[in-house]
Structure 1
Amino acid sequence: MQDLNIIATTSSPAIATDWNEGRVILAGDSYPENAFELFQPLLDWVSAYLAQAGQPLRLELSLLYLNTSSIRIMMDLFDQLEVAHQAGKSVRLQWFYDARNERVADLAEEFREDCTFPFDIIAEERA
């Protein structure tokens, strides 16, 4: 599977994957016109990785804002991780946020409540 390297725009996050490292990075705002179109390659990549790689998968999120359709996609992504975790695969999610933005921490916490896989919410001091 080819790695993804999607550049951020004003309304969509950067998306980068690394098959060899078992890593997915999403960073920025997410309110694209068509979230399904933007995120489908990522959902496909994660699905393929979980089915084929046999190695741990780590997601690193630095998402600042998500619209409703982006939230739905994140729920689909987290559901994939949950199924993999329940099947004994090693998955971990780290959601980084600016310590001054509690709204993002609250959103991440809402997501974490529905997950049993390791899900860290990490405050960062940003300038």
Structure 2
Amino acid sequence: MTRIQLAATERSPEVDFDLAAGRLSLRGESYPEDAAAFYGPLLQALRGLLADPGQAPLTVEVGLAYFNSSSAKALMNLFMPLEDAAAAGRPVTIRWLYADGDDTIAEAGEDFAADFEHATFELVMEAQV
């Protein structure tokens, strides 16, 4: 599988994981009934990509206007293997997108960023997420 594309729903974000290109994107809101079931296949695909011996750069964009605590845990589960890959020498950039004036999402990004030592974590203010 080289690409996972899911349309946004009322409770789950738009997903565009272009694995072949090393570009992963989540946008919208995230409070699915079962966050583990929603994010599980994404984590599995990411782990498969990271198991590839290549060191192609990865860029992950997260632009969530809202997410619940179970989604935050799922995001951390996605972020941990990215940090491990970066520690092993793979170029990894996480771009945390937030709307101008959305201090809650910006602060959540800062909290996530504190857990990264090897991957590049960018806080990116947008006019609108």
Q: Does 1:6 align with 2:6?
A: yes
Deviation at 1:16, TM superposition (A): 0.8
Which residue matches 1:85? Answer: 86
Scaled by the length of structure 2, the TM-score of the pair is 0.93
Once the two structures are superposed, residues 58-110 of structure 1 have per-residue CA deviations (whole angstroms, 9 ceiling, x without a partner) of 10111111111101111111111111111111111001111121110000000
Structure 1: which amino acid aligns with 2:50? Answer: L
Unaligned stretches of 5+ residues in structure 1: none
Q: Does 1:74 align with 2:75?
A: yes
Tell me, yes or no, if the aligned pair for 2:85 and 2:92 is still in contact at 8 Å.
Answer: yes
In 1, Cα distance between the equivalents of 2:69 and 2:63?
A: 17
Q: Does 1:118 align with 2:129?
A: no
Q: Does 1:44 align with 2:62?
A: no
Structure 2: which amino acid aligns with 1:8? Answer: A
In 2, Cα distance between the equivalents of 1:105 and 1:27?
A: 15
Deviation at 1:126, TM superposition (A): 3.1
Deviation at 1:53, TM superposition (A): 6.2
In 2, Cα distance between the equivalents of 1:74 and 1:53?
A: 24
Which residue matches 1:98? Answer: 99
Structure 1: which amino acid aligns with 2:122? Answer: D
Partner of 2:43: helix, strand, or coil? helix
Scaled by the length of structure 1, the TM-score of the pair is 0.94
Structure 2: which amino acid aligns with 1:20? Answer: A
Aligned residues with identical type, % of pairs: 36
Structure 2: which amino acid aligns with 1:7? Answer: A
Structure 1: which amino acid aligns with 2:59? Answer: R
In 2, Cα distance between the equivalents of 1:104 and 1:67?
A: 11
